[in-house]
Copies of this chain bind each other. A is one copy, B any other.
Amino acid sequence: MAGRAVEGAAEEIAEGQDAVGILGRSRAVVEPELRAAVTSLPASMRRIARYHFGWEHPDGTPAAGNAGKAIRPALVLTAAAALGGPQARASAARAAAAVELVHNFTLLHDDVMDRDTTRRHRPTAWTVFGDADAILAGDALQALALGLLAGDPHPASRAAAARLAACVVELCAGQQADTALEARAPGEVTLAEVLAMAEAKTGALLGCACAIGALYAGAGEEEVEALDAFGRQAGLAFQLIDDVIGIWGDPARTGKPAGADLAARKKSLPVVAALTSGTPAATELAELYARPHQEGEEERAALAVERAGGRDWAQAQAADRMSRALHDLSRAIPDPRAADGLLALAEFVTRRTA
């Protein structure tokens, strides 16, 4: 196993170990699996799924396509390659597609629940096809994902399916916690609660993706758990940085206006850190959050979060989570050359600063 891992890593290095390259090569392997799975759907469900993935316009004509960066399937393939070499990577293509299907099922449903109208720079599926069709297409994608694994003869597919199903339950609990926390008064939300929510909502699937890659490489339980922990911590770091961008980010680069999260009164991680800081700026922020947003007030709110230490806290937390992630990574894959691809992906997802 170790020999094959090093060999696989060497090949990855020869091919270029930058994250953009890894993501591109991963999409080349996963997209055919994904398209084949979606093509197997009945026409009514296929139409909505193809629109959601950016492959088709609402009328069914082909679209240029922006199905997202597909980080999760890249984590599956890269984890498999790191622990089992190119053969393990190749064997995990269907499992990688299953993980991406689960991610997209949650996006379809989250957009309905959150009433989000834009996804990947296009109107969300529910705004085009209605709530019922978006819910049903999401249901069908979850079934497709777990069905893909049930039909995969690889010896790891059963354990992967059990893990992915458990992860779906955790994602649901995370989304439930998110909506429940948003409905509560700002002063009644603790930092521990939003961190737990972010781990369930974002960390769990990144961790599951890495763990499934390890399973397809035939890795032992300790390595599988260490890679799950790596993905979870990297996912939390990603969420912290994403929340920072949601307040101070550059709209030209992020596609959403700076301060949008503040205007929407979102209880993102830096905001809750600020609100629970016990500083005068926390009081000012709490007062702002207690009344509806007024045009042009974002800057004042952002300054209050910053003065209350929310920005510094989030950045320090992100760095701390990344260092925990690297520790978990080295537990699973002691050879730094073999771990290089996963490291590049973790750095890529957390380096999206404005």
The interface stretch among A158-166, A289-297, A323-331 is A158-166
Given A113-B131, A146-B150, A158-B150, CB of A169 within 8 Å of CB of B45: yes
Give 1 or 0 for each of A165-183: 1 = CB within 8 Å of chain B CB.
1101110110111011000
Chain B residue contacts of A149, Cβ below 8 A: 150
Which of A44, A109, A169, A177 has the most B CB atoms < 10 Å from its CB?
A169
Q: Could you tell me if A172 and B109 are in contact, using CB atoms closer than 8 angstroms?
A: no
Of the candidates B140, B170, B175, the one whose C-beta lies within 8 Å of that of A172 is B140
Residues of B within 8 A of A105 (CB): 139
Which residue of chain B has the shortest Cβ distance to A145 in the bound complex? B165
- Find chain B residues with CB under 8 A from A162 CB: 147, 150-151
Q: Which residues of B contact A131 (CB under 8 A)?
A: 113
Residue of B nearest to A42 (CB): B173
Leading 9 A-B pairs by shortest Cβ distance: A147-B165, A143-B168, A150-B161, A42-B173, A150-B162, A146-B146, A113-B132, A140-B172, A136-B172
Could you give 21 example pairs across A and B, Cβ below 8 Å? A41-B169, A44-B173, A44-B180, A45-B172, A45-B173, A45-B176, A105-B139, A109-B139, A132-B179, A136-B172, A136-B173, A138-B139, A140-B168, A142-B143, A142-B168, A143-B146, A143-B165, A144-B165, A146-B146, A150-B159, A161-B161
Complex alpha-carbon distance, A42 and B179, angstroms: 15
Chain A, interface size: which category? 35 or more
Question: Does A11 have its Cβ within 8 Å of any Cβ on chain B?
Answer: no
CA A41 to CA B168, docked complex, whole Å: 11
Chain B residues with CB under 8 Å of A168's CB are: 139-140, 142-143, 147
Q: Report how far A44 CA is from B181 CA in the complex, Å.
A: 12
Question: What 18 additional pairs, Cβ within 8 angstroms, besides A109-B135, A139-B168?
Answer: A41-B173, A42-B170, A44-B176, A45-B176, A105-B139, A133-B179, A136-B175, A139-B139, A139-B172, A140-B172, A142-B168, A143-B168, A143-B169, A146-B146, A146-B150, A147-B168, A150-B161, A150-B165
Distance A1 CA – B150 CA, assembled complex (angstroms): 26
Q: Is A112 an interface position by the 8 A CB rule?
A: yes
**Alpha-carbon gap, A113 to B105, bound state (A):** 17
State the CA gap A142–B42 with chains docked (Å): 19
With A135-B135, A176-B45 as contacts: A140 and B158 at CB distance below 8 Å: no
- For the complex, what is the distance from the CA of A162 to the CA of B144, rounded to whole Å? 9
Residue of B44, B112, B137, B144 touching A135 (CB-CB under 8 A)? B112
Q: Is the CB of B42 within 8 A of A169?
A: yes
A115 CB, min distance to chain B CBs, angstroms: 10
Report Cα–Cα, A181/B179, bound state, in Å.
Answer: 33
Whether A44 contacts B177 by the Cβ 8 Å rule is yes
Interface flags, A108-141, vs B, CB<8A=1, else 0: 0100110000000000000000011101111110
Interface centre among A45, A112, A131, A142 (most CB of B within 10 A): A142
Distance (whole angstroms) from the CB of A44 to the closest CB of chain B: 5
CB-based contact B139/A165 at 8 Å: no
Assess A161 versus B135: contact at CB under 8 Å? Given A44-B176, A140-B172, A169-B140. Answer: no
A265 to chain B, nearest CB (A): 17
How many angstroms between the C-alpha atoms of A162 and B145 in the bound complex?
10
Cα distance A172–B134 when bound, in Å? 11
